[in-house]
């Protein structure tokens, strides 16, 4: 059972996760266009992660006997100044998502919605990892600076990132 308010907030989060996917897909396309295949791969894996985040919420709403409602997805930027610019924007966006998840948890607690609170804990933990990954890459990009060879070395490393689908379990996997 989900209150109207909770449903609305979860549907809003579903839209934000879809926007995250769209944003990282745009960054992947831009990376590919600028010849950085590794960065393109990293952002495409991130796109897959975000789709998984969205689908978990979609499944949760539907498994609670309600209907996931889909809204328009905002258009992301199509041009970026540099890989550092993309990762700084990624971190900024992830901080926005972390705040949004925290607000959802606050609402679940206010509403005494224990099931949704438990469901959201996965996202609380996930956000630590998401921000951590971005911070690490930003630090490395700052070290690399304008060194083209350093950037290509990092690009070769990021080619190795793979999407690991969550093990199937209950409402949309974990």
Q: Could you list the residues that contact ligand OFO (CB under 6 A)?
A: 17, 20, 50, 53, 94, 97, 130
Q: In the bound complex, what is the minimum distance in angstroms from residue 123's beta carbon to ligand OFO?
A: 7
153 touches 36 (CB < 8 A): no
Q: In the bound complex, what is the minimum distance in angstroms from residue 148's beta carbon to ligand OFO?
A: 29
Geometric angle at alpha carbon 8, from 2 and 75, rounded to 5°:
145
| Residue whose beta carbon is closest to ligand OFO | 20
Query: For ligand OFO, which is the closer residue by CB, 20 or 116?
Result: 20
Q: In the bound complex, what is the minimum distance in angstroms from residue 46's beta carbon to ligand OFO?
A: 7
CA atoms within 13 A on the CB side of 12: 11
Query: For ligand OFO, which is the closer residue by CB, 6 or 97?
Result: 97
Cα 46 to its chain centre, rounded Å, is 7
What is the signed CA dihedral for 123, 173, 171, 6, rounded to 10 degrees? 20
Q: In the bound complex, what is the minimum distance in angstroms from residue 57's beta carbon to ligand OFO?
A: 10
Query: For ligand OFO, which is the closer residue by CB, 128 or 139?
Result: 128
Token pair belonging to 136: 């690490």
Instruction: Give the C-alpha separation, 174 to 166, whole Å.
Output: 5
């Amino acid at each position: 059972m989900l209150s109207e308010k909770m449903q609305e907030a979860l549907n809003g989060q579903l839209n934000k996760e879809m926007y995250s996917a769209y944003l990282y897909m745009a960054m992947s396309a831009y990376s590919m266009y600028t010849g950085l295949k590794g960065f393109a791969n990293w952002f495409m894996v991130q796109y897959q992660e975000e789709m998984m985040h969205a689908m978990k919420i979609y499944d949760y709403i539907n498994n609670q006997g309600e209907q996931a409602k889909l809204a328009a997805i905002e258009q992301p930027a199509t041009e970026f100044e540099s890989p550092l610019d993309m990762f700084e924007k990624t971190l900024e966006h992830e901080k926005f998502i972390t705040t949004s998840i925290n607000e959802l948890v606050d609402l679940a607690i206010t509403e005494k919605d224990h099931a949704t609170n438990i469901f959201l804990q996965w996202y609380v933990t996930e956000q630590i990892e998401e921000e951590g990954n971005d911070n690490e890459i930003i630090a490395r990009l700052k070290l690399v600076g304008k060194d083209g060879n350093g950037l290509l070395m990092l690009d070769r490393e990021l080619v190795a990132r793979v999407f690991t689908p969550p093990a199937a379990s209950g409402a949309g996997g974990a």
